[in-house]
Amino acid sequence: MYIGVFIFLTKITNLLNLKNQEIQCPYCGEYITIFIDCSIENQSYIEDCQVCCRPINLIISVGFDGDVQVNAMHENE
């Protein structure tokens, strides 16, 4: 049952070219998982930390080989 759901979710994320990536919150230091749309080469947005709810400034670049680089910074940095 659970394995079936997992495969289903994996298929959806592959279809949408989404990649999940673990980042460290610059405020509380906890690791949270974000989903990155790999079809966009360079993107930056604010995502609230799932633990402390403070806004994390995410700067993401996707390489031509699908390599994802994520910078997680304070909002005002």
Q: How far apart are CA 21 and CA 14, in angstroms?
A: 14
Q: How far apart are CA 49 and CA 54, in angstroms?
A: 5
By the 8 A CB rule, do 36 and 60 touch? yes
CB of 69 to Zn ion, least distance (A): 20
Binding map of Zn ion across residues 37-76, x = CB under 5 A, - = no contact: ------------x-xx------------------------
Q: Which is nearer to Zn ion, 30 or 41 (CB)?
A: 30
Q: Which is nearer to Zn ion, 11 or 54 (CB)?
A: 54
